Chain A
Amino acid sequence: MSRIGVFVCHCGTNIASVVDPDKLIAAARELPGVAYAADYKYMCSEPGQQMIKDSISEHGLDRIVIASCSPRMHETTFRKMLKNTGINPYMLEIANIREQCSWVHVDKDRASEKAVNLMRMAVSKISKNEPLYAQTIPITKKALVIGGGIAGIQAALDIADAGHEVVLLERESSVGGKMAMLDKTFPTLDCSACISTPKMVDVGAHPNITLMTSCEVESVSGYIGNFEVGIKQKARYVNHDICTGCGLCETKCPVKVESEFNLGLSTRPAIYKLFPQAVPSKPIIDKENCRLLKGGKCGICAKLCPLGCVNYEDEDRTITDNFGAIVIATGYQLVDWPSMYGEYGGGRYKDILSGLQFERTVNAAGPTEGHIVRPSDGKEPETVVIVKCVGSRDPNKGKSYCSRACCMYAAKHAHQILEKLPGTRVFIFYIDVRTPGKGYEEFYDQTRMDGAVYVRGRVSKIYEEEGQLVCRGEDSLLGEQVSVKADMVILETAMEPSPGIAELTSLLGAARDVNNWVQEAHPKLRPAETQVGGVFLAGTCQGPKDIPDTVAQASAAAAKVIGLLNKSEMETSPMISAVERDKCSGCGVCVGICPYKAVTLLEIDDRHGAKRIKREVANVNSGLCQGCGACTSACRTGALDLLGFRNKQILEEVDALCL
């Protein structure tokens, strides 16, 4: 007979104000197998833990049920406590009577009754618990950071500074990401390039960092501590080992195409550096637009290059490498507003710019060398309308979420316009102004002092009239229709995840949320991790955020990676799937259903009657398995079972509740 100890936590008044602990104690004492029951104000506190430990030795307990907060909160705390008591840490069950009971109910009697049921379920389940033991797996001391924006750069630098090898992977030909495109950064107005380019140079020069540009992740196998990643190095057509980045090749290229970096506001040749401060500072050839690679006659760049770097025969290559940890830092893009907002002209009017296009316009290294002029006629605007929440907070046409950074950069854009072109009239259409951040509210105030006019309401329509853009909307504070004739309109558009995020997360087995952002393991307590062990998150791939938050999260992810790579081996959770080979018929349904690629078929020697045979059975990789239990419910014969959540344990809970 088991000797179960039941401990009921008051959590101050969090639990005890709704659920009556005395009722739980009284009910617990009636249950079979319960040898001791007690309550305390804060079970997780030092005296609370000591009380449990004392009761274990005093009453000879061998299993512990704690009725308290969610197991996600303190299960690990109590497991650690049990380590020194002689009881296996997995002989513990938590009945969640806080999040799932006292916090969500008001009727004290019925809440207490429910709490008793939750506790009874845990007591029934624990009667079938068995000791579990963690395994250890070795760790490859090398990290892969996917995405070379400010998040990836910061994470790579932090990990490398701690002494670990890092590969920084970037899809474009240069690191820098979106931050390299920005002009000044709120709220301090320091120049974006001045603070980001030194970091770009650092990653290029750091002895522990291998920079891989024009690269994409092609395949991922393995598990925490031991990932094997196939990386596609896209053909650059320029030998970067020899190239000095002199730039001669770019000068005579006959091709002119829209510059991605300047968002179509200028042109670039087919052999090009992404921008002048690119790292690595070496060009690549854009094969879609190169005259020779498209089959025509040219070859000028090869003739010009004094070192013979240009190689038109270059091909994509796949490189395979091993990593202990992976950081996703793939960032964001702005939504394609012309396809969503036909009422704003759907992209027909040249003088409507996206926020990022305005950043390029106002940037001294941009297409207009920092002069704020209309793209249509090169004239300075006298009236500018800034429209916020274009695609954000608009569940009907765009995204339901707030893109977070736009309120601040809208204020910054207004400030920059008023600073560079004094006397310009700036109207900002807004729904709300959200400025939660250090120095943000003060910056917004300053912008209003500068003379920006904030109009509360959405712009319903923009159309052209006599060379000007008429913005019609509602001033919801006045309750009147308003109409502004503007020379230039800036749309502060919503952020959305970078293209390819679905493919990348599928390769990694990481989940995405309803808006396709990468899902963090816990919104508050594990914001820099995914659900997949060894795969971490940095920056806007997780959701919209500004630069300070991005950098903070990148450093947090780096700290997690460093913590992992500092160990030579790591413990894995023993709450994973286990296969009963006798029952397994090798049908493989578990292989296809596993989100983490943790189950494979393994050939084993067996007997069939008197005959020696080989047959296949399911095999669970303890490094990959996250204990989700999908395979155990898909397995028809019940050959797979989740340790810690065995079918018989769950049925005990069901019986306790229903019988």
Chain B
Amino acid sequence: MSEKQEKMRQCAEKLLRDGEAGYVIGWGETRFDDRTTPIFVEDPAGAGAFVWNEYAINSLAKYLLDDKYPDKKIGLFTRGCESRAINRLLKDNQIKRENVYLIGVPCDGKKSDRCTLCRERNPILYDVLLWTPEDDPPPAAGRFDRVKDIEAMSPDERYVYWGETYDSCIRCYACRNVCPACNCRECYADMSKTGFQGKQHSRSDNQIFGVTRAFHVGDRCIECGECERVCPMNLPIMGQTQKILKDINELTGEYECGMDATSENYLGRFDLDDKDEFM
């Protein structure tokens, strides 16, 4: 672990010293042994703050949206999940590839539930790869297992399930803030006069938020699991986005987002041969 960590620090230090990157985004220590925090290092001398351990959990790519027009490149440690998020942002025309320097760090799986969903440990795109790729996790058996459980419920049961789930939602929007597919300049959830999304904490307005969020990201979700990780109420909200992905998979065959920066979003294209059996 420490050897890899050393490579990361050296790479960041060199990038910053050579002026190739304005700053580098990675993980740093906290006062808890089992936590890390995203850090942004500008000074080459500060590169020693980067850490690499099983608690380097946060996906970092979303921070690129906070600085869409940088003067210099932004260095970013990039695992499989970050690289898929970057493809998401590239496809959604939110960042420019030449504005980022991607330091590929193949991942060995971290101590987080979200990593159990992982299908791609190694970065798909990078500018430099710091060490040899890891073996990808075992075949993604059970990618949609939880969706199947929900599908098995009767409509009434399902309504109770989601109704109770969204009774607990506190509308903190952490799921939105962390999601790489949530990249609007202004989110409808922050608008006061949409006419359909109320601000109050009620089952119906919470459900409207949940359903709208699911459809906004459904066909673009990279399945990184960050939304569920950050949810302070531990709500199983990927059940909705994954239902959309499962339906698309069943209608059109293999469909997975973030594997490249060019594939069309399924719900974002006009096609005369569109599958319309459900209509």
Is A541 an interface position by the 8 A CB rule?
no
Q: Which residue of A lies closest to B183 (CB)?
A: A585
Is A161 an interface position by the 8 A CB rule?
no
- In chain A, positions 421-468 with a C-beta closer than 8 Å to chain B are none
Contact of B188 among A587, A593, A637, A648 (CB under 8 A): A637
Contact of A601 among B93, B184, B185, B272 (CB under 8 A): B93
Known: A592-B264, A616-B93, A647-B195. A585 touches B270 (CB 8 A): no
Is A371 an interface position by the 8 A CB rule?
no
Is A405 an interface position by the 8 A CB rule?
no
One digit per residue, 1 when the CB lies within 8 angstroms of any chain B CB and 0 when it does not, for chain A 612-642 equals 0101100000000000001000101110000
A616–B272 CA distance with the chains assembled, in angstroms: 27
Is A4 an interface position by the 8 A CB rule?
no
CB pair B184 A592 closer than 8 Å: no
A502–B92 CA distance with the chains assembled, in angstroms: 29
CB-defined contacts of A585 to chain B, threshold 8 Å: 92-94, 183-185
CB-defined contacts of A634 to chain B, threshold 8 Å: 267-268
Known: A585-B183, A636-B216, A637-B187. A651 touches B195 (CB 8 A): yes
A65–B268 CA distance with the chains assembled, in angstroms: 36
Q: Is the interface of A mostly helix, strand, loop or mixed?
A: mixed
CB-defined contacts of B159 to chain A, threshold 8 Å: none
Q: Which of A502, A511, A593 has the most CB of B within 10 A?
A: A593
Contact of B191 among A589, A595, A615, A638 (CB under 8 A): A638
CB-defined contacts of B195 to chain A, threshold 8 Å: 647-648, 651
The smallest beta-carbon distance between A432 and chain B, in angstroms, is 32
CB pair A608 B69 closer than 8 Å: yes
Contact of B68 among A583, A601, A608, A651 (CB under 8 A): A608
Is A584 an interface position by the 8 A CB rule?
yes
Is A512 an interface position by the 8 A CB rule?
yes
Known: A583-B185, A636-B216, A647-B195. A592 touches B269 (CB 8 A): yes
Interface size on A, residues (CB 8 A): 31
CB-defined contacts of A589 to chain B, threshold 8 Å: 265, 268
- In chain A, positions 52-67 with a C-beta closer than 8 Å to chain B are none
CB-defined contacts of B186 to chain A, threshold 8 Å: 582-583, 637
Q: Which residue of A lies closest to B89 (CB)?
A: A587
CB pair B68 A592 closer than 8 Å: no
A592–B270 CA distance with the chains assembled, in angstroms: 6
Known: A589-B265, A608-B68. A636 touches B188 (CB 8 A): yes
A592–B274 CA distance with the chains assembled, in angstroms: 13
Q: Is the interface of B mostly helix, strand, loop or mixed?
A: loop
A648–B195 CA distance with the chains assembled, in angstroms: 7
CB pair B272 A505 closer than 8 Å: yes
CB pair A637 B265 closer than 8 Å: no
Is B194 an interface position by the 8 A CB rule?
yes
One digit per residue, 1 when the CB lies within 8 angstroms of any chain B CB and 0 when it does not, for chain A 575-598 equals 000000011111111001111000
CB-defined contacts of A615 to chain B, threshold 8 Å: 69
Known: A585-B94, A588-B92. A594 touches B270 (CB 8 A): yes
Known: A589-B265, A608-B69. A637 touches B184 (CB 8 A): yes
- In chain A, positions 344-373 with a C-beta closer than 8 Å to chain B are none
CB pair B185 A593 closer than 8 Å: no
Contact of A512 among B184, B185, B187, B272 (CB under 8 A): B272
CB pair B188 A638 closer than 8 Å: yes
Q: Which residue of B lies closest to A613 (CB)?
A: B69
Contact of A593 among B184, B269, B272 (CB under 8 A): B269
Is A333 an interface position by the 8 A CB rule?
no
CB-defined contacts of A636 to chain B, threshold 8 Å: 184, 188, 216
Q: Which residue of B lies closest to A637 (CB)?
A: B184
CB-defined contacts of B264 to chain A, threshold 8 Å: 592
Is A294 an interface position by the 8 A CB rule?
no
The smallest beta-carbon distance between B195 and chain A, in angstroms, is 4
CB pair B196 A595 closer than 8 Å: no
A512–B191 CA distance with the chains assembled, in angstroms: 39
A512–B274 CA distance with the chains assembled, in angstroms: 13
Q: Which residue of B lies closest to A586 (CB)?
A: B93
CB-defined contacts of A594 to chain B, threshold 8 Å: 270
CB pair A588 B93 closer than 8 Å: yes
Contact of B265 among A592, A608, A648 (CB under 8 A): A592
CB pair A637 B185 closer than 8 Å: yes
A119–B187 CA distance with the chains assembled, in angstroms: 34
Q: Which residue of B lies closest to A648 (CB)?
A: B195
| 7 residue pairs, one from A and one from B, having the closest CB atoms | A651-B195, A637-B184, A592-B269, A589-B268, A585-B185, A587-B92, A613-B69
Query: Chain B interface (Cβ within 8 Å of chain A)?
Result: 68-69, 92-94, 183-188, 191, 193-196, 216, 264-265, 267-270, 272-273
11 contacts between A and B (CB under 8 A): A502-B272, A582-B185, A584-B185, A587-B92, A589-B265, A589-B268, A592-B270, A608-B69, A615-B69, A638-B188, A638-B191
